[in-house]
């Protein structure tokens, strides 16, 4: 839930990047962090294991200017994609204002993606959020891989709500800011 501070004229919104392990959630945030001027962003906190996987979250406060005279700050988080961190994913989702569902487009990851979006739906019901009206954007990542599934297949099976979706190669920055702009606009519209 967005925090609105009338006295300081600030709105703080939380966007969560959700998806399976190694799908590109952290890579998205790393690209945003390195591409934005230091005065418009905060430090990036990343807690990782010995194998460089995000254990808890990445947190990147991002200042995106003003909306109706209020300074808006977006706090970007990722969830750990590993199956055993389901409770942590639920905790990170709590208080979210918008979600970017990052999909690993590789054919062999399809079933994991299907399970992950089903889990997301279940978690959102648990915290009392209606996914039919909740700000959600899909990102079809790893489009540069030779075994990437066609976008229409991903759209058909993973984007049943027909929310905005973007092809991406997060490691090269392709589609990263288009995805972030779309979810930011959706969150602001919901406010």
> What tens digit of pLDDT does each residue of 102-123 get?
999 999 999 999 999 999 999 9
The mean of the pLDDT values for the chain is 88
The answer to whether residue 46 scores a pLDDT higher than 80 is no
**Six token digits for residue 55:** 């254990």
Determine the pLDDT at residue 186: 94
Pull the structure tokens for residue 54: 């995000």
Q: What is the CATH number of the domain that holds 40?
A: 3.40.50.300
**Res. 44 pLDDT band, cuts 50 70 90:** confident
Which range of residues forms the domain containing residue 72? 3-190
pLDDT over 60 at 53, yes or no = no
- The total number of structural domains in the chain stands at 1
DSSP code of 36? S
Phi-psi region of 69 (alpha: psi -120 to 50; beta: other; left: phi over 0): left
Question: Residues with Cβ < 8 Å from 122, sequence gap 6 or more?
Answer: none
* E-strand stretches of the chain: 3-5, 10-18, 45-48, 54-67, 70-78, 98-104, 136-141, 165-167
**Distances, alpha carbon 15 to alpha carbons 35, 49, 139, 182, in Å:** 18, 23, 14, 12
Direct distance between the N- and C-terminal alpha carbons of the chain, in angstroms, rounded to an integer: 10
Query: What does the pLDDT read at residue 49?
Result: 56
């Amino acid at each position: 839930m967005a925090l609105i501070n009338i006295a300081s004229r600030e709105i703080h919104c939380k966007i969560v990047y959700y998806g399976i392990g190694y799908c590109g959630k952290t890579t998205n945030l790393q690209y945003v962090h390195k591409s934005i001027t230091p005065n418009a962003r905060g430090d990036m906190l990343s807690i990782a294991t010995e194998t460089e996987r995000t254990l808890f979250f990445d947190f990147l406060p991002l200042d995106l200017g003003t909306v109706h005279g209020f300074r808006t700050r977006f706090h970007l988080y990722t969830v750990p994609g590993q199956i055993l961190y389901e409770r942590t994913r639920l905790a990170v989702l709590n208080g979210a204002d918008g979600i970017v569902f990052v999909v690993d487009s590789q054919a062999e990851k399809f079933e994991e993606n299907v399970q992950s979006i089903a889990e997301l739906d279940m978690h959102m019901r648990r915290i009392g959020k209606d996914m039919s009206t909740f700000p959600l954007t899909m990102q079809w990542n790893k489009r540069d891989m030779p075994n990437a599934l066609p976008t229409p297949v991903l759209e058909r099976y993973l984007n049943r709500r027909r929310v905005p979706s973007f092809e991406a190669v997060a490691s090269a920055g392709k589609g990263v800011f288009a995805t972030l702009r779309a979810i930011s606009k959706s969150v602001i519209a919901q406010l």
